[in-house]
């Protein structure tokens, strides 16, 4: 018998998400991820391994607890859409720590967009002002709809104002969000997008120090969810914006190198979001505070969605299996498989 493990191809993952429903998936992944943030000290954590190129980055993101190991292969190439390719693509794996054998191999381009949006919305639970109902999205590329669904499902946001320098991207967003129940409008400039927003999500892609949100447009009480600055030399917010806000991060050693805060001194105070989730640190303290989640994407978030997907496919019998581990009858006689 070959040793087979679960495999989620792109069509199978799409089928699974459509069967469960995007809102339910967001809520389910949020439960898994919140549980994992609550047991943060149990994880063996290292900043991801990044191989840089002038056009982008290729990264490996490992993490484990005592039971399971996860890793993701992911790229970030902002010039790719001009070539008909995506900015971000990924593949991920979950395995068993006790044997080292794989449990699940899956597409992770869609899963990354889901987990990124869920991580932001979990942070939002603690950093958004009470009564918030409107989110501005600056940058309506691949991540945008996922962010909208997560903030709707997890934080109760009902209105979105979207702005992209390419109006076709905003129109794509409107088309994809038809039937979502969210009230959506397109803004023609940044100010119009953020004027009435309680939350500002920046999700742009450019391999440079960009400034997509002028600081004089920001109002007291807003929550800024910055996901696009995630690599050395690739940021979205200028220092003036960062200095106005109380800053929350995933894993400080990684974010110091990759996040918006790479522009600040190394001792500028930041709070890891797990500390807020476990009640060890404050989230939003008052109505006027400007809060900022400097998201770069941490491996534990991949671990959480891999656990969720594994449990869902197993419970539904929805997985295919993949024969990728050589499995000789005698475990010490590998060569016999070639005879
Ligand atoms: N933090 C994380 O965990 C995480 C995860 C995935 C992606 N990302 C990052 O998020 C960003 C968005 O990813 P994506 O897959 O949606 O990229 P994408 O290339 O599909 O979309 C980016 C969009 O931003 C728009 N844009 C660029 N500059 C702009 C500006 N100044 N104002 C308004 N719009 C602007 C582009 O026209 C495009 O539509 C990327 O930088 C990516 O690396 C972060």
pLDDT (tens digit, 9 = 90+) per residue, 29-74? 999 999 999 999 999 999 999 999 999 999 999 999 999 999 999 9
Residues 85-95: what's their mean pLDDT? 97
Test site for ligand 1: of 87, 211, 296, most ligand atoms within 8 A of the Cβ: 87
Backbone torsions φ then ψ of 199, nearest 5 degrees: -125, 140
Beta-bridge partners for 249: 272
- Write down the pTM of the prediction: 0.97
Beta-bridge partners for 247: 292
SS3 assignment, position 252: helix
What's the CA gap between 184 and 186, in Å, rounded? 7
**Do 150 and 118 touch, CB atoms closer than 8 A?**
yes
Structure tokens that stand for 267 in this block: 């001792």
Ligand 1 pocket residue status of 193, Cβ below 6 Å = no
Backbone torsions φ then ψ of 128, nearest 5 degrees: -85, 145
Ligand 1 pocket residue status of 227, Cβ below 6 Å = yes
Does 266 have pLDDT greater than 60? Answer: yes
**DSSP H helices in 161-203:** 167-176, 190-194
What's the CA gap between 327 and 323, in Å, rounded? 9
Place of tokens 């190991």: 69
Residues 139-164: what's their mean pLDDT? 98
Distance of alpha carbon 287 from its chain centroid, rounded? 26
Does 1 have pLDDT greater than 70? Answer: no
Q: For residue 322, how far is its CA from the centre of ligand 1 (angstroms)?
A: 33
What's the CA gap between 83 and 217, in Å, rounded? 33
Ligand 1 pocket residue status of 92, Cβ below 6 Å = no
Per-residue pLDDT reduced to its tens digit, 242-252: 999 999 999 99
Q: For residue 190, how far is its CA from the centre of ligand 1 (angstroms)?
A: 15
What's the CA gap between 315 and 311, in Å, rounded? 6
- Indicate the angle between helix axes 10-20 and 109-127, nearest 10 degrees: 40
Does 177 have pLDDT greater than 60? Answer: yes
Catalytic residue from among 230, 294, 302, 319: 230
Mark whether 294 is an active-site residue.
Answer: no
Q: For residue 229, how far is its CA from the centre of ligand 1 (angstroms)?
A: 9
Backbone torsions φ then ψ of 13, nearest 5 degrees: -65, -40
Does 318 have pLDDT greater than 80? Answer: no
Q: For residue 78, how far is its CA from the centre of ligand 1 (angstroms)?
A: 8
The DSSP secondary-structure symbol of 20 reads H
């Amino acid at each position: 018998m070959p040793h087979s493990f679960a495999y989620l191809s792109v069509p199978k993952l799409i089928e699974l998400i459509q069967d469960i429903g995007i809102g339910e998936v967001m809520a389910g992944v949020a439960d898994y991820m919140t549980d994992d943030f609550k047991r943060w000290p149990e994880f063996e954590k290292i900043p991801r391994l990044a191989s840089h190129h002038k056009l982008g980055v290729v990264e490996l993101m490992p993490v484990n607890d005592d039971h399971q190991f996860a890793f993701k292969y992911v790229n970030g190439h902002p010039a790719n859409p001009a070539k008909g390719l995506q900015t971000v693509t990924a593949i991920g794996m979950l395995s068993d720590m006790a044997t080292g054998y794989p449990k699940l191999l899956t597409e992770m381009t869609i899963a990354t967009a889901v987990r990124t949006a869920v991580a932001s919305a979990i942070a939002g639970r603690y950093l958004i002002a009470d009564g918030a109902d409107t989110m501005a999205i600056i940058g309506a590329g691949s991540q945008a709809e996922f962010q909208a669904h997560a903030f709707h499902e997890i934080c109760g946001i009902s209105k979105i104002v979207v702005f992209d320098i390419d109006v076709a991207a905003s129109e794509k967003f409107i088309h994809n969000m038809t039937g979502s129940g969210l009230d959506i409008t397109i803004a023609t400039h940044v100010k119009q997008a953020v004027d009435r927003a309680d939350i500002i999500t920046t999700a742009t892609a450019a391999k440079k120090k960009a400034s997509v949100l002028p600081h004089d447009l920001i109002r007291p009480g807003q929550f800024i969810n910055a996901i696009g600055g995630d690599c050395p030399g690739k940021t979205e917010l200028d220092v003036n914006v960062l200095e106005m806000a109380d800053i929350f991060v995933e894993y400080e050693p990684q974010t110091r190198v990759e996040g918006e805060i790479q522009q600040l001194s190394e001792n500028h105070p930041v709070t890891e979001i797990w500390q807020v989730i476990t009640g060890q640190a404050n989230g939003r303290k008052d109505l006027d505070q400007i809060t900022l989640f400097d998201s770069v994407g941490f491996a534990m978030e991949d671990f959480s969605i891999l656990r969720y997907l594994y449990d869902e496919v197993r419970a539904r019998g929805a997985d295919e299996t993949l024969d990728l581990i050589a499995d000789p009858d005698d475990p010490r006689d590998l060569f016999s498989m070639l005879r």
